[in-house]
Chains A and B, each alone.
Chain A
Amino acid sequence: MCLMSTYAVEATDLVKIFGKERAVDGISLQVPKGIVYGFLGPNGAGKTTTIRMLATLLKPNEGHAKVMGYDLTQEADKVRHSISLTGQFASVDEELSGRENLIFIGRLVGYSRKQAKQRADELLQAFQLEEAAKRQVKKYSGGMRRRIDIAASIVTSPELLFLDEPTTGLDPRSRNQVWDIVRALVKNGTTVFLTTQYLEEADQLADLIGVIDRGKLIAEGTSKELKSSIGAGSLTVHFDDLDELKKAQNIFVSRFEQQPDINEQDISLTIMIKEHAKAAKAIGELANTNVQIKDFSMSQPSLDEVFLTLTGNVPDHEGGDSSNE
């Protein structure tokens, strides 16, 4: 146990170069203990490389980091004692059965044969994999694979668990199961460091979100902070005819000083909004002025929009909180 540090991860200027590409280009992070840290970014942004460095699998070319208070390169073995890693692709042996995998990992963390078997059975039950216990993992469904993967990571509960894209490719039900597992882990004091491509996932799970693009951390903050900087999404309003659409357009321009995107084919308009309350206000305003609305819908900002905003292509973001030096 390490009581010296309040941070699970403290990284300073981590750099990893593959050939000529700077896959990770000066990332600094401070992840407090006991939270879910969500590492959000598109494919190829450097998420996996960062996780692999922090899990002692790759040596950084530059920079240094402490994981659970231990130096990543000097005390790699101590780091390995405190962490577990669930990789992006199944980090279990697909040729073996689920139960064999868990016994195998149990033996590797130092349990006796009997303890390892007992622990395997406990985990299989808790993760609802008892029926599949004797089946080869390669015959598991995507959701089951993820569960056995995570079960293998908590044969002994780690202080810090790395989850690399835990729900990519899962159906909604399996995804919810994984989310529940993550929440249970954190409740029991494990710090979870997860990567994701989905804004919604980061939003649902993470206490702190780091947005990564092309090897750089371009924003960091709580879900709320990030959203206020990128807006809550867009509001689309449909109308019965073009006259109503024109009336609404005028109201938006005069009352909100915002030019909506007009789609005459659909007889609809779309505006970007910063917070949900403003959307309600806008709809209320239309109702007050007797504009006939057919229907309206809100959409979450997509990751594309987030990136568009954060990478600076959209000028008006004040709270981007860019943590690059």
Chain B
Amino acid sequence: MYVAVKGGERAIDNAHAWLGEERRGDHDVSELSVAQIRKQLSLAVNRVMAEGSLYDPDLAALAIKQARGDMIEAIFLIRAYRTTLPRFAGSEPIATEKMACDRRISATFKDVPGGQILGPTFDYTHRLLDFKLAAEGGLTDAPEGDAQPGDVPHVLSFLDGEGLIQQEKQGAETPPDLTREPMELPANRPLRLQSLARGDEGFLLSLAYSTQRGYARNHAFVGELRIGDVPVEVDIPELGFAIEIGDITVTECETVNQFTGSKTEPAHFTRGYGLVFGMSERKAISMALVDRALRWEELGEDNLGAAAQDEEFVLSHCDNIQATGFLEHIKLPHYVDFQSELELVRKLRRDTMAGAGNTHAQEAAE
């Protein structure tokens, strides 16, 4: 006699035990420490913090270890943890002109006050596998210089002085919070930027790339890209002023985009904006390009029907945690649905065959 499959619970426990074993891998190889991940896979840690929307390098490193290096899984762990955290306060907006820059480049001006700083970049490295690293050798000391004192003004502020760049809207209203309120469409720019800042790097990269290839091209130059530490300040009502609670590393990108004017606006430059936790310049540049593409309506540009211009499309699909969950849910049992489809297909086939029989009979009669 048939006995229905039971034991889902034991199967799950066994699977998870196996997963733990696989995560650790061969015991002859020493175990990876969270500190090693944090210090030596820092760009992975940065990505997990950025898309996990939680600035905590230790937790991000732990998540990467737990996820066996699966970045989206690690981001997921951070997001789920983040949900449970109480919110004590909101910070003051960070002042990126006060950034202690590790890297700062402009593609639009040869030299700018504050100087260009190449910083620790992959740019201009020759992508040749370095076998010295495999031999665990090759510790090199970088030469040191003096940090630049004082604020580092934004490159785009020089264009602003000439009135050549679009004025950004100033407003006292509190921006909506994507993590506390349901997404409402059409969204405003603060909500869009929040969504992009935690959006999937690969998705934004491809969208940004598509704008460069002509799907809503917006002629972007990197006006400025800067990476470095900025202080975070929190206003303490009891004190009546804001105090610094720590530093975070962020990447900020402002693009300068050509704009030939529209029905309502004279020609001037416009901008796209990207701001991401950690050192994540590919993501920051992508974000700025997509932000700019999404601003077509506000600038009176034409809707070219490109994916990067479609706010609802971009915002509904840029979150990789939503995407991966829904994508992977199709491996859950669906046999009830499938059963109903099976019956329907069988019924339709029966009807069609019966129908075909009738038509033949009719034709013969005619």
Same assembly: no
B residues apposed to A, CB below 8 Å: none
